[in-house]
Structure 1
Amino acid sequence: NTAMDCCRTSRRLGGKDVKVVVRSPQKDMKASDWEIEDAIREDIPIYENHVPAEFVVENGKLTGMKFEKVTAEYDENGKRSLVPTGEDLVFMEADEVIIAIGQDNAFPWIERDIGMEFGDWDMPVVDKVTFQSSIKKVFFGGDAAFGPENIITAVAHGHQAAVSIDKFCHDADVTERLAPMTNLVSQKMGFHEWTYDAHIDHTDRRLVPHVDKDTALNNLKLEVEKGFDTNLGYEEAMRCLNCDVQTVFSESLCIECDACVDVCPTECINFTEPEEEEADLRQKLLVAATNWEQDIYVSDTLKTKRVMVKDENVCLHCGLCAERCPTSAWDMQKYLYNVTKAGKVA
């Protein structure tokens, strides 16, 4: 997002012809989609697949830059290569060039002869469980361990590294961790009453209101996003899918009436004959489960020798299956998950 910050700030500082030039296709840019959208909304064009070649200086003054046009090609593993198109270099006039490459991990201060192992991108090799480096008394976490992530991940790394350090200082096995605490609690209060609101809302996601473009560009300190007012914020919050509330199926209570199949708004529930291959099972569902990154929920064999199969990828957690079920074979249960944290006594 550094480039987006730089180009938008340049507009506010008086830049009339501001453009962003990137090596990669726009779809591969590391900037967030909404950051790119905001830049384009402020009339900042993005030139993709242009690799910087040289600065052009005349009479000691910068007049522009030349770029080599490339095309992105991907191998069977998805690894990208930028291949020159062979066209002439593209010249773009400029009196100011901002090299907006963000930040990266760099460890020049770690001597390479002290026994620490480095791997891809010149990053220390770190154990993903203990956060221990090849030098057993040195631990890493956050971006320094496995590259850019969010702050929640960095905090979790810090907790786990602290647990490892404590064990290391007490000559204990740093790989040992208490099993995570998991729990499921039914959210049912009555026959048709639940402790959470899960009505289906077909309204598109509401966009955060923005200050008009001319006003925003004339004030460097003005907050562009106005945020939601109370009513709009409430309406948007009501679209929450309650991802912590899980559908739990009890085979022993199911009478295979298929009422849940009829009421499901996304057709994610299926009763079908089992298959030896998961690929075959995924394809025979009412709506084929094509997202292999998401497991499908398959029950034990039922009385009719069928199985219940649920595609978690499209479930809305609306609870209609649990409301419709005449035997309470479906239940909506809040899922709690907790792991060992630093400072907590087991």
Structure 2
Amino acid sequence: MPETGPQQAAVDVPRGLAGVVVTETAIGDVRGREGFYHYREYSAIDLARSRGFEDVWHLMFHGTLPDAEQSAAFAARVAALRHLPDEVAGALPLIARASSAAGPLAGLRTALSLYGSATGLRPLYDTDPERRAEDALAACAVVPTILTALHRIGLGQEPLAPRDDLGHAANYLYTLTGREPAPDHARAIEQYLVATVDHGFNPSTFAARVIASTGADLAACLVGGVGAFSGPLHGGAPARALDTLDAIGTVDRIDPWIRERVLAGERIMGFGHAVYRTEDPRSRMLRGLAQGFGGPLVDFAVQVEQRVEAILAELKPGRELHTNVEFYAGVVMEQCGLPRAMFTPTFAVARVVGWSANILEQATDSKIIRPGARYVGPPPPQPVPAV
């Protein structure tokens, strides 16, 4: 059914839909000029500092923070859902080989599609809210298991079964490394996960909601979110930001290295954000976590941050360009022993919960998301040339 016509005129909007409100949400928001974002009615950073990942997961899915009894019950429920169906577990070696060049995030797309088929996920359009919520909970629970298994298989190691006695973040680190993590490492990664669960209508969240608006099954929606998320301009930046520190190498190279790239029009990974016009609150929190660990990498990262911001202010006056979440996320994950190939997949471990909350919300709206585009090609109709 056409979406434009005599009764509905086309509306021009800014490139990239910047500033365009496309729907209403009760999940959260980002106030870019204030440097603030929230999940439901709570500051996301306050939640990261004071609550565990499962509590925030409960908030995203159910709209409320759990009390102590509810928290323990929800965590136990999540832990029991981490184990993969046999069909998916058996296919992971083939998926790992096929996606070896691209990495675990690419493999996750394939594994999620298989998971949807193996578990009989039905279209959102055909399921009730309770069934959708159960399906979403189970899918989010297995994503860390899939990602760590793909990583280990790629290294020639056996995947590890999830441990029901560990929290979500600690279990993720255990199934990744084979070692029970130090409490401070587990907590730092948990805080990172909480801080990255959701962030407004970012491209991957929007992509997942567009697919959800068609009534497709949950796996299809999540695969779309993963696909959008994998781009270097979205979730694919934490390792690249750390690569920038490696490329600079020493303090005396900071200024010339940065100036050369800014003047060449290149982007400095880990700096600037599509929404924030002040310091990214996630970056501020992660900087504090990194400084709590200390060490030469952190000291160097802080020096680079200071000089990059100064040089960008000089060469791009009027542009508020500060570190974004990826810059210190890479530093924290490096300090906690995560391999760089797993930086963006770790981001996805958190964001899959935010995608799912948005998918569940979108599924309650019967209106398909169907924008238009202005045609700028050769004027039609032209005669079809004879062969």
TM-score interval, normalised by the smaller of the two chains: under 0.3
Structure 2-normalised TM-score?
0.23
Larger relative contact order (Cα-Cα within 8 Å, sequence gap ≥ 6): 2
Greater share of helix: 2
Structure 1-normalised TM-score?
0.25
- Of structures 1 and 2, the larger Rg is shown by 1
Greater share of strand: 1
